[in-house]
Structures are given as C-alpha cells and as structure tokens.
Amino acid sequence: MRTFISFLFALTTLTVQAAGMGYDDARHLLARTGFAPTESEVQTYAKLSRAQAVDKLLSETRAEAQTLPPSWVSEPPTPLRAIKDLSEEERKQFQRQQMERGVALRSWWYQEMLVTPTPLTERMTLFWHNHFVSSQQKVKSAQLMYRQHVLLRSYALGNFGELLHAVSKDPAMILYLDNATNRRGQPNENFAREVMELFTLGVGQYTEQDIKEAARAFTGWSLDRANGEFHFYRLLHDGGTKTVLGRSGDFDGDAVLDILLAQPQTAEFISAKLWREFVSPDPDVKEVQRLARILREARYEIKPLLRALFSSEAFYVPANRARLIKSPVDLLVGTLRQFGIEGLDTRLLVFSGRQLNQDLFGPPNVKGWPGGDDWINSTTLLARKQFMERIFRAEEMPLDRRTLREEMGPGAARAMAGQAMLANLRFDVPAFFGAFKGGEAQQRASVERLVLSSPASHKPAASERMEFIRQLVLDPVYQLK
C-alpha cells in the first residue's frame, strides 16, 4: 500500500511539473530575481516547472554589460597627489568633472538595468555593490568606481571566494577602506575589520586581536599612484608570523582570506544575506544552514546556492510573498520595464534614486544601504508617490517655463530640468492592455494580478484606463514584492 501511495504521489508531482509552475509562482520568481516582470515574461515562465524556470534564469546571466559605458572610463584616473597640487579653481573644476561623470556613470547603469535581457545579473551586481561597499565620494574617481563595477559584474554569479580575493585588491576598495596607508609598523585596521565583519564572518565571530594580526597581513597592498592599478609594495609588508582565528604563520593577505573562507560562518553569513535579499527579512536558521552546506560543497560557487534558494518551498510559500519592500532601484526600473515606458532621460532616475536614499555608487557608509523598512519613511514615501505621479501624468503636465519661473522662483530651474527629462516619455496604454486576454473587466483583473504582489488595499474603480493604472501604482501594495 505504501509503495502504491508513493507511486501516486510521484505521478502527481510529475503531472504538476509537466503543467508548469503557473502564473503566480512565475510572477513571484521574476519579481524577486529581477525587476517587475512583464506579462509576456510571466506567461513564458508559467509554462515551465520551478526547476526549469530557475535553470533558465541562471543559464542566461552574463558577465558583461551590453550598454556601452561613457568614453572616459578607459582614461587613467587622476593621481591623488596631482589633485592636492591643484589650484582652488582647478580643484573646483575637477570636482565638477567628477560630479558630471558620476551622474553619467549612474545613468549608464540605469540604462543597462532598463534594457538588460537578464535582470538577475543586475540584481546580483547590485547585491555585491551593497556588500563590498565603496563610494565615489571618498574614492574620488569615477574611473575606479567603474572598474570596481566591472569586477563585481564579472563575478556576480561566479565564485564568491575568487570575488573576495579580487575585490580585496581592487583600487577603489583599497582607497575606500584606507589600505593604501596600511604599512609595516603602522598598520591600518580598517580593511581587516570590515573584511571580517561585513564581507565574510559577521559580527561576533572574531576578536580584536584577530583584526590586528590580519591587518599586518594586508600591509603593502596598495595601488600604483600613476595608473591606479593594484600594486604590492614588498618593502612595506610585515612578513612576521601572525595568528588569525587560531592559525599561525607568515601570512599575507591572500592567506588570511583563505582562512576566512574556510570558516563555516562565512558560508552561513552569505547565505543568510541572500535569504534576506530574495526571500524574507527573517532567515530560517535550518534553511540557511542547508544553503550554507551547499555553498561550501560547491566551493563557493554562487549558482548552486541560488538554484537551491529559488527552488526551495520556503521561497514560494504565501507567508513569504509581499514581504519585501521594493528598493528605490526596484521601484524606478521595475515601473519603467513593466509598463514598457520609453524615452525617459535616465538622469531623472539618478536624481530620483538619490532622493529616495539609494544613490548608486554612493552608499551612505561602509555598511551600505540597510534596506527593508529603512526604505520607507514619511519623506521617501511621498517622494515615491510623486515619482509615480510624474511618470503617469507626464502628458498632462506640459513644460511651461514662464509659469514655473513665476510660481517657483529660485526652484524653477530644478523643476524645469526635471520636467525636461520627461519630455520624450512614451507610454502606450492600448499596447500595454493589449498584452492581456479577454474583455475590459478581465484585462483589468489581469493587470492588477501582474502589477501587485497581493490584492490592492483599495480596489481601483476608475473608468478610464490611465487613471486605473495610477490607482494601482499609488496603492500601498505596489511598494511590496
């Protein structure tokens, strides 16, 4: 009897898999692993089993962006010593140039997120950008920030161990965490502390003495001031014996990183962080331990961990849906992608992201953006709604420069600049609704099912299609995924 029941269960499972994962599971998977999906994308994935859908996602990721970066990224960065020798006017000019390049760099990444065929690549690049934190404000070089971005992207779904070693020698990271001043006899502990607390082990898994000893191992890791490349200064390296996490030897920086990777806590720390990124704010301890074992057995290859995470029952349970708050990038990019909105000047996304407290290439501190509930406060919630109003009422608000100057005075320039970035915006409402089957009522129900992660707080009742969409995107549920 047990054998017969097992056979029926297996047969039922195969039948369900053959029928596909269904619309709601597909929408959930795509919303969590990318940006807000389109109806076409959801329908494509709904026909696949969960395993097939996850394999498709992982197989299509890329290591390079398809959008051409600004032409200046290949220029050598300006040496820090040269900056110190600039006159006051030259320094102001340099600062203006870096600000302009910073905006261009952010615009470039937003454009890649808008057009990428593999949103998971962008999500993982952004994840590592907020894990291995650096900021242009301190690094003072848009070129070095771009190089770090290329590094993070190339390993985004690759090997965490290799990424850890590579980013530890990244010039932007060296400048950001002050390892350029870490030398024998005068160790700087910043990088050693953060590599343990934020990059690998987590708080409470090391001692202050471990930090001091590890800092000695990273002495001499710096950069060539002429070309901005990593350089090891052997004469500045402390070659003595160090003891880190109970192991002793004549360790250099790479050896210390290997010691950190050998600790079980590192795999658990990364697994828990990915859980909070993709599943829920509260990691399941047993599930995290299971995922950590998979990560260790895969020798820190990220894809096996993500495959297990995205295929787990916990990922799909109703209790974990609509649990995560959209980050500003999720909200901005997802809105434009899902509704097929074109022609927006991506500089508006740069400024809007900054207003919403997610300034790409400029996290607030070494811990990065905390995310979760911290994305929402009275100021940012209002700004989120204002962005939606600007996007979905752009055609109703023609640019009247004279009226703006009269009504806003000194603030008119900023308002006009923002409105000008909307000048070429295009949202084809009939085409958007055309992707959904059935009559008007059925189409509207399908639109709500796609756009919101759970039923609307306030049932939209507008008779006009555009107003119906406005009501959906202004519903509190739109802020969740």
pLDDT(317) > 70: yes
CA distances from 122 to 17, 113, 119, 360, 459 (A): 29, 6, 5, 12, 33
Task: Compute the distance between CA of residue 101 and CA of residue 94 in angstroms, rounded to an integer.
Answer: 10
Cα atoms in the Cβ-side hemisphere of radius 13 Å centred on 402: 0
The size of the chain, in residues, is 481
Segment 348-374 mean pLDDT? 98
Residues forming beta bridges with residue 223, ordered by sequence position:
230
Whether the CA torsion 146, 150, 151, 155 is positive or negative: it is: positive
pLDDT surpassing 50 at residue 5: no
Ranges 288-302, 310-324, 383-397, 429-443: which has the least confidence:
383-397
Name the residue with higher pLDDT: 225 or 266.
Answer: 266
Of the candidates 356, 342, 354, 445, which has an alpha carbon nearest to the alpha carbon of residue 394?
342
The pLDDT value given to residue 14: 46
Examine the pLDDT at 8 and tell me if it is beyond 50.
Answer: no
Q: What is the pLDDT of residue 86?
A: 87
Q: What is the pLDDT of residues 273-301, one digit of tens each?
A: 999 999 999 999 999 999 999 999 999 99
Rounded to whole angstroms, the Cα distance separating 451 from 331 reads: 12
Average pLDDT for the chain: 92
Confidence of residue 11 (pLDDT cuts 50, 70, 90): very low
Q: How far apart are CA 141 and CA 176, in angstroms?
A: 11
- The per-residue pLDDT for range 158-215, each reduced to its tens digit, is 999 999 999 999 999 999 999 999 999 999 999 999 999 999 999 999 999 999 999 9
Residue 403 predicted with pLDDT over 50: no
User: Region 426-451: what's the mean pLDDT?
Assistant: 97
**Torsion-angle region of 459 (φ positive above 0: left; ψ -120 to 50: alpha; else: beta):** beta
Q: What is the pLDDT of residue 406?
A: 52
Which whole number is the average pLDDT over 217-241?
95
Residues with Cβ < 8 Å from 251, sequence gap 6 or more? 217, 242, 244, 259
Residue 108 has pLDDT above 50, yes or no: yes
Question: Above 50 in pLDDT, residue 407?
Answer: no
- Check: CB of residue 215 under 8 Å from CB of residue 71: no
- Average pLDDT (437-441) is 97
Residue 85 has pLDDT above 90, yes or no: no
**Residue extents of the structural domains in the chain:** 2-48, 264-320, 328-479
239 class by beta-carbon count within 10 Å (0-12 exposed, 13-18 middle, 19+ buried): middle
pTM value is: 0.92
